[in-house]
Chains A and B, each alone.
Chain A
Amino acid sequence: MTGLEALAGDLVVLAFVDALGEFLRPETLVGVLVDGLSKAALYVMIAGGLTLIFGLMGVLNFAHGSMTMIGAYLGGLLMVLAVGEATGAGMRLVAFFVAMAAAFAVLAGLGGAIEVGLIRRLYDRPPIYQILLTFGVTLVLDELARIVVLFYGIQPSSEWQAAFGTKPYFLDQQVDLGIISVPGLDLFEIGFGVLTVAGLWAFLTRTRYGLIVRAGSEDSEMTEALGIDVRRVFTVVFALGAGVAGAAGTLLMWDASWGASVPLAADTLLPAFVVVIIGGLGTFRGTVVAAVIVGMADAVTTWWFVNEIEFASLPEMTVFLILVVMLILKPQGLFGVEEVGGH
């Protein structure tokens, strides 16, 4: 190595140390933390329904992303319709909750119908067929969405652009947290993530139906022997999972880094898979922890990519690298049970 190269090497190291120092400043850390948590909240909303379905039924639902995508369009559509009526921030927020509830209801209905009409026929076949079936459903749903969007000219129209701006003004602003100000939308998302986790957790552990769901995922034959119609529980859980996906889509519609589009189906499906698998397929607790891990890793790599390393795909790649490393080290996931892996 010549002296010049050694100097260049030193400079790289120095730049790295500088960046590290910058990264470790409290302002940066808090910013990254909030960013990571808001991402984690979105991940947990996308993946929550998926893990619920897998935990009980052992079905890996490939159509989950499409449901999120449909939820995003539906939510956006309702917001566009509502915003003409309501201009105040409070009213907009109310309209948003109505839109989200509507998206939840519609997709829960769709999910229930898919379970009853299609998936129910496949329980006695090898699990591979359920993956295949939901994969086919995804193709159909995506193409239908594409046809509808094209036919009504939804996407390029200026009314649709307005959906993006239907956020109440305080979500567009920076909120002061003392040392640093963060986007209001991030905090809103975090709040929603916490609500979703709390809601699903309460449903699973505090209601009678949740008890049945947990019993069913533990040992469905035994539950059936106790006189519970497990098939109907399957339908309800599938509908619930799809509904959560739809509600998540409504939230994504407001987020500048996601937005409603047909490719959103694949864009959300893959991270959802990653989160669910890292957490251990079918364990809700694992999914929450994994969402936080993936969200933080995403936020940290995004920061480094913006400030230091020039490799645009880094944050996206990290998510899958975590998946691969996790599966190599602990195939059943963080909180997974070995037996579930036997599927």
Chain B
Amino acid sequence: MILLLAAYPGVYSVLLNSPLGTEFQTVLPRVETMVVVLYFGLFAMSFDFISGYTGYLSFGHAAFYGTGAYFVIMAANGKIPLLGPDTPFVYLLALAGLFAAVLAVLIGAVSFRLTGVYFAMITLGFAQVMYVFIRGWDYAANNPRDGPAVLERTEPFNVGVPGVDSLTLAIGELGGDTVEGLLGVIDLGTAEVSYYMVGLVVLVSYFAMQRIIHSPFGRVMIAIRENEERAKAIGYNTFWYKLGAFAISGFFAAVAGGLLAGFKRSVSPDNTFYFLVTGDALLASIIGGFGTLAGPLYGWLFDEGVTEFLSKRGEGGGLLPYLRENLGEGLLSTEVFNGLTVQEGIDTFLNGHAELYIGVLFVLFVLFVPNGLLGTVRDRIGGPVAEVVAERLRGDER
């Protein structure tokens, strides 16, 4: 799967130039969108890390995502003491993560006395306090309601080993590095470079979280989800385990937020701290598979894919331009019902209303596929995909 993701930009450009190019352009998300998929997927994973594995619905998880994003932007604007505007991006990510982890410990210390709905609500409460605060804090941005952008920083946001130029590459939606003639044949545009470099951070984070889940610590997390009373009875101090898991989760959520800031170079309260941001992570986790670490990434890939497919402008493809080009004027202006033409019908029901279909799908998933995409696949084949495939390849008997 990682290989597939790694090959995506190449495959994408090959497919676009193939005879079915228009069709592929319509269906497949752009590479720029895939960058968003990666970092938001990381956020959704960090949400799933706490909510899917310990069973505590962290409904204010956007607080950590936003903390990471604002930390990076404010540091880049020289507004964080002791950090110059040109601090290497990788350090900023780590510091933002640590800052968010400390915050998570503080929030968790009071929140983990509660369970279930109450826990969801108190985390939501903290996140909303921060959201409202950041929206009115004019130190963070000149116009706090719209959020800050990078103004001071002269150095680009580089991912790689700080200080070694040959091992760092810049990311960015508008700027960023390009690579020409890597290994003699490969040329990469700014979007592709961002894709790989963001992907690298996400991959490292994923493996780190994966490692924790499979450690004894992760076992205790699952024990808490399955039966907290029993986990306590065995002698685990579940409070500290929950707090630890929350801090780790907050760390990676902030890294994801930092990547957002690095890629977009501007953030707003509404795409970081707002509670619907957590809602998006929730969507991704449910569709991809609650309690499977990689699931949220696929869930979000699916979500972004549908959104772009039905997007209004259809940059680089999407359903609308495709239909416009291929249906023909005659059909488009045909009346279907009471003066409603096909064109208007498409505009009304497809144009930019992906939320509707994602919402319907989400409800269907909650009702009928509670384990999500990846969880269901695992149930079918009887274990994590990678393990089962490896066993089959080796020819092991099950």
Contact = CB atoms under 8 A, between A and B. Distances in A.
Main secondary structure of the interface of B (DSSP, over half): helix
A42 B56 CA distance: 32
Contact of A147 (B116, B133, B348): B348
Contacts, number: 117
B367 A118 contact: yes
Contacts of B133: 313, 317
A277 to B, nearest CB: 5
A127 interface: yes
Contacts of B126: 324
Main secondary structure of the interface of A (DSSP, over half): helix
A41 interface: no
Nearest to A119: B367
A122 interface: yes
Contacts of A321: 129
A341 B367 contact: no
B282 interface: yes
Given A323-B125, A324-B129, A133 B355 contact: no
A24 interface: no
A281 interface: yes
Interface of B: 55, 57, 110-111, 113-118, 120-122, 124-126, 128-129, 132-133, 135-136, 275-276, 279, 282-283, 286, 348-349, 353, 355-356, 358-360, 362-363, 366-367, 370
Contact of B355 (A135, A139, A273): A139
Contacts of A331: 113-114, 118
Interface in A132-177: 132-133, 135-140, 142-144, 146-147, 150-151
B136 A122 contact: no
Given A129-B370, A266-B276, A311-B136, A327 B114 contact: yes
Nearest to B345: A151
Interface of A: 60, 118, 121-122, 125-129, 131-133, 135-140, 142-144, 146-147, 150-151, 266, 270, 273-274, 277, 281, 311-314, 316-317, 320-321, 323-324, 327-328, 331-332, 341-343
B117 A281 contact: yes
B169 to A, nearest CB: 37
A129 B121 contact: no
Contact of B110 (A135, A328, A341): A328
B276 to A, nearest CB: 7
The 10 lowest CB-CB distance pairs between A and B, nearest first, are A139-B359, A313-B136, A143-B356, A136-B363, A140-B359, A136-B362, A323-B125, A143-B355, A317-B132, A327-B122
Given A274-B125, A313-B133, A320-B129, A128 B116 contact: yes
